A and B are shown apart, each in its own frame.
Chain A
Amino acid sequence: MTSPLTGVVNVGADMFADAVEAQAVPVERVDWRPPMAGTEADLAAVATDPRRDAANRRAVEAMLGVTATLVDVAPASEVLGLEPGQFLHAGPPIEWSRASGPLRGALMGGAALEGLVDDPEDAVALFEDGGSVTLEPCHHRSAVGPMAGVVTPSMWMFVLEDAETGRRTHCSLNEGLGKVLRYGAYGPDVLERLRWMSAVLGPLLRAGVRSADPVDVTGILTQMLQMGDEAHNRNRAGTLMLMRDLAPAMVTSGADASDVAAALRFIGGNDHFFLNLAMPACKLALDAARDIEGSTMVVAMARNGTDFGIQVSGTGDEWFTGPAQVADGLFLGDYGPDDANADIGDSAITETAGIGGFAMATAPAIVRLVGGTVPDALATTRRMHEITLAENPRWSVPVLEFQGTPTGIDVTRVCRTGILPQINTGMAGREAGVGQVGAGLVTPPAEIFPSALAALAARVPN
């Protein structure tokens, strides 16, 4: 049936749009620009892949269908089977020789924490030799780690579960800001804090989690996004809601009252405590979208301080990597751009899931990290809708009329528009042992998207 013409979307020469408008038909004009260099043929091949549309719909549906619940807190040795000498780290795979300062610092601190060496400085020889230690990405073990993301067997982990499938993801407990292991610091105070977290905080949280109602992490994310958090660089409301849910059970757990008070003070004093729940919740959702042939959706973005890597649903476990960039932002104290290490951490899993930098509009304060304005924050979130497949009906942004967050980064849209995912991030010092030097905004290296696109194009059946 021929249907009445209600309007025209014009992509290309304006003269055609003008001619249609002259006939009193409404026209929307696309601001089309050429795609990233050399991607035209691959874009056409992937666009006409008959599997792609359905595969992407499936990927989005699978991701949005996941509800992440906090079900346990336990040492990595128990829940990940991590053994002494095994180290997890953020980002794509990397060996010691290419590791950046903050990753090295965190590994050295982790080696001392596990008692492999007495002095963290002695761990350098251990890692250079490599015979008794192994490095593996958190992502390969159903885990994510912020910044250096180093996980050792004795560290306590949040355990999140998708009730429908029983799938789980894990993340360490957040140490706070400043001189902390995940930013590459490994001084005595850093190790002392980690030991307290394993001895006191972890067990208390476990007691709270096991005796309280399961904590709906996805639900807290829904609420905090309406309370000024974007859940990457701003987690205040989320942290307080978590404490609200766990505090009664922690208080009645029978633990020493001063320990409970110390734990609650620690959590309440650390605005980023909830980040380590937001991240595994995002990974749990995105893992549901993995391994769908034909899907062009990004399922992980992660950095190890040297390389920035992405994984894509339709290309399995392959990492597409390029050099990690240095964030543009603000610096603590005397630190400046020369002190900052390149981008590091698995925390970009939040942007991969459509929050963090993608939800900038809901956390206008974060835009000041680069001296921007509130309209910049709104524009950023709107811009991310250009490169995503869907809107998240649960996670919405009040100031944008409760529009859902931009969800499911599409490799093809990134290549077509040249718009790169916007990531909010902390900055680690370049040298091992320094800790945090600032925070800011960063994007992936552009070239990893055409690489992923080429791999997708190569998999299109003839």
Chain B
Amino acid sequence: MKDHVEIRRGAYADSVALLQVSRSVQGTPGVEAAQVAMATGLNLEVLAGMGFMVPPEASANDMVVALRLADDTVLPAALAAVDAALAPRRPTSGAGEVAPPRTTAAALRGAGEGDLVLVSVPGASAVVEAVDAVEAGHDVMLFSDNVPVDQEVALKRLAADRGRLVMGPDCGTAVVDGVGLGFANAVRPGRIGLVAASGTGCQQLLALLHHAGADLEGVGVRWALGVGGRDLSAPVGGLATREALRRLDADPDVDLVVVVSKPPAPEVADALAADAEALGTPVELGLLGPGQRDLTTVAEAALARLGHDSPQWPVHGADNTGPAVGPLLRGLFVGGTLCDESMLMATQALGPVRSNIPLAPELALGDDLLPDTHTMVDFGDDALTQGRAHPMIDPTLRLEQVAATAADERTGVLLLDVVLGHGAEPDPAALLAPAIEAARARRPIPVLVSLVGTDLDPQDLDRQRDALVAAGAEVHLSNAGATRRALDLIAATTAGEGSTR
């Protein structure tokens, strides 16, 4: 063992740097101990404690290099290690990379006043991010589902106190200042404002009004403010709908407001009607429910309010459709409101329809998705999206069910929806058309598709429609139109049966 102690006169580094140098030199093979330090009283004590003999002339302005080596041969390597450790380090980068923000609050520091927050984190964490937005003075769209209703109420109360708009939770669609958010369709801006407690209901109206507005000045939508499917339920009480109405009413570029909703709580609907009455801007209420108008009729009423006749809503592939091949109507939907609308129409015409989003509790579907009744399934329902993507993104679940349902010989007509727009599957027909074709190859079952989209949507509406028609489907722009056609087919079968008995 060999000690090496040297004084480096006038050399200086701060104590922290020297601790680091000592540590790195200690890691050199053959070095048993190393202490590189300024020769201050404290450090001389430490060195003495380690057994090093330091020359007495060392002063606090000198650097001491003290090394305990296995033998003399490692000295050059050890000194090289000291010099390397003392050499200034080259910076790896300048001021350092700025990491992206970890919370909404952090992202909103210095954000523009008109910045909107779009939240799609898991439902259990969504409200926390949304509160950040509201407290920083921003509107928020909550795409997240599975948000507990008490959290929704608390969030919307915070927002109401601050005049902020909460679009959601479970808000799939919005158009804000002409920009499509979530599953919005690409539309021509115009002078109609939508308030939608329903994603696909909103998309149906966007698609119909866009189609009608092709040749009509001002018929288009710049604002479609989603409010979340539960906003008009009793616990939430329309908190966000009221804020959205207030915004659109104050906008001089909005001539007509259309409200569209899944079936609301009656007392909330009444209160909303009174609120709408008090606004300066005319409001067309399209609240789904038994005995209420379907969405296509609401779109027609909106056009009439603006002084326009409604066009013939397009239907393609009508020639594909033969008579119903069984007594039951089966609907398989990705859009909850489209499912609701069809169910309301079917119930009136055919009687009870069982569903995973039933119109009455006793009509709930059990585990058997093909009972001996008419059925309509919403694959976008929270219970079916937990732990997986929405069916507008991941169609697997519904595709499986298309095959099973079409194969069931009680199924007389199959009713489907396909929803286009930003965020949706890039080419839904690519998988659905072959599934339809395969189903019809086994049984010549009428397949009615409501294809909700616009010619500006990224999926190319015409191409989607053509592929579905080529597969044997009859394709409608209006979901109510497709449903009515399905009901007619089923009714014809039962009427036929009746006459043969």
Contacts and interface: CB of A to CB of B under 8 A. Distances in A.
Interface of A: 1-13, 15-17, 19-20, 22-23, 25, 28-35, 40-41, 43-44, 47-48, 50, 53, 177-178, 330-334, 365-366, 368-369, 371, 373-376, 378-379, 382-383, 385-386, 399, 412-413, 416-417, 419, 438-439
A385 B423 contact: no
B103 A30 contact: yes
A98 B108 CA distance: 45
Nearest to B95: A378
Contact of A4 (B125, B177, B248): B177
Contacts of B53: none
Contact of B125 (A19, A34, A50, A399): A34
A28 B106 CA distance: 11
Interface in B438-454: none
B484 interface: no
B128 A28 contact: no
B102 A32 contact: yes
30 contacts: A1-B251, A2-B254, A3-B114, A9-B108, A9-B118, A9-B133, A12-B143, A16-B118, A16-B120, A16-B182, A17-B118, A20-B179, A20-B181, A23-B422, A29-B107, A40-B124, A40-B125, A44-B148, A47-B128, A178-B46, A330-B23, A331-B19, A333-B35, A334-B49, A365-B16, A366-B16, A375-B97, A383-B99, A416-B103, A439-B16
Interface of B: 14, 16-17, 19-20, 22-23, 33, 35, 42, 45-47, 49-50, 89, 91-108, 111-122, 124-125, 127-129, 131, 133, 135, 138, 143-144, 148, 151, 154-155, 157-158, 161, 176-177, 179-182, 193, 223, 247-248, 250-251, 254, 393, 422-423
A16 B114 contact: no
B177 A5 contact: yes
Contact of A334 (B33, B133, B157): B33
A48 B158 contact: yes
A32 B129 contact: yes
A376 B97 CA distance: 10
Contact of B423 (A1, A19, A34, A44): A19
B244 to A, nearest CB: 9
Contacts of B95: 375, 378, 399
A12 B390 CA distance: 14
B280 to A, nearest CB: 13
B114 A373 contact: no
Contact of A177 (B42, B99, B154): B42
Contact of A41 (B14, B20, B124, B254): B124
A15 B129 contact: no
B101 A7 contact: no
Given A13-B143, A16-B423, A19-B422, 16 more contacts: A5-B115, A5-B176, A6-B113, A6-B114, A9-B117, A11-B120, A16-B118, A29-B100, A29-B107, A40-B124, A332-B19, A333-B46, A365-B17, A369-B20, A376-B96, A412-B128
B349 to A, nearest CB: 38
Contact of A44 (B96, B127, B248): B127
Nearest to B422: A19
Contact of B154 (A48, A375, A412, A419): A48
A254 to B, nearest CB: 30
Nearest to B60: A269
Nearest to A367: B16
B174 to A, nearest CB: 10
A111 B393 CA distance: 72
B125 A28 contact: no
Contacts of A438: 19
Nearest to A391: B109
Contact of A9 (B16, B116, B154, B193): B116
A7 B131 contact: no
A295 B117 CA distance: 24
Contacts of A41: 124
Contacts of A382: 96, 98-99
A11 B112 contact: no
A2 B223 contact: yes
A319 B385 CA distance: 42
Contacts of A20: 118, 179, 181
B181 A16 contact: yes
A3 B113 contact: yes
A35 B112 CA distance: 27
Contact of A48 (B118, B144, B155): B155
B102 A419 contact: yes
Pick from A4, A12, A29 the residue with the most CB of B within 10 Å. A12
B423 A374 contact: no
A279 B124 CA distance: 39
A383 B129 CA distance: 18
A65 to B, nearest CB: 22
Given A1-B247, A382-B99, A11 B423 contact: no
Given A12-B119, A44-B151, A334 B50 contact: yes
B250 A2 contact: yes
Nearest to A371: B20
A416 B423 contact: no
A375 B93 CA distance: 7
Pick from B118, B120, B129 the residue with the most CB of A within 10 Å. B118
Contacts of B117: 8-11
Contacts of A16: 118, 120, 143, 181-182, 423
A4 B47 CA distance: 69
A417 B132 CA distance: 14
B195 to A, nearest CB: 12
A31 B100 contact: yes
A435 to B, nearest CB: 10
A6 B115 contact: yes
B247 A12 contact: no
Contacts of A5: 114-116, 176-177, 179
Nearest to B186: A23
Contacts of B119: 11-12
A48 B423 contact: no
Contacts of B35: 333
Contacts of A369: 16, 19-20
Contacts of A6: 112-115
A385 to B, nearest CB: 7
Pick from A1, A43, A371 the residue with the most CB of B within 10 Å. A1
Given A43-B128, A48-B131, A48-B154, A25 B179 contact: yes
Contacts of B22: 330
Given A16-B143, A331-B23, A33 B102 contact: yes
Given A19-B423, A40-B124, A50 B103 contact: no
B424 to A, nearest CB: 10
Contacts of B157: 50
Given A16-B181, A35-B125, A378-B96, A2 B251 contact: yes
Nearest to A417: B102
Given A30-B104, A53-B135, A12 B99 contact: no
A330 B151 CA distance: 48
B82 to A, nearest CB: 16
A8 B106 contact: no
A50 B161 contact: yes
Contacts of A333: 35, 46-47, 49-50
A11 B121 contact: yes
Contacts of A365: 14, 16-17
B471 to A, nearest CB: 27
Given A13-B120, A48-B154, A368 B181 contact: no
Given A1-B251, A6-B113, A178 B45 contact: yes
Contacts of B155: 48
A372 to B, nearest CB: 10
A30 B107 contact: yes
A50 B121 contact: no
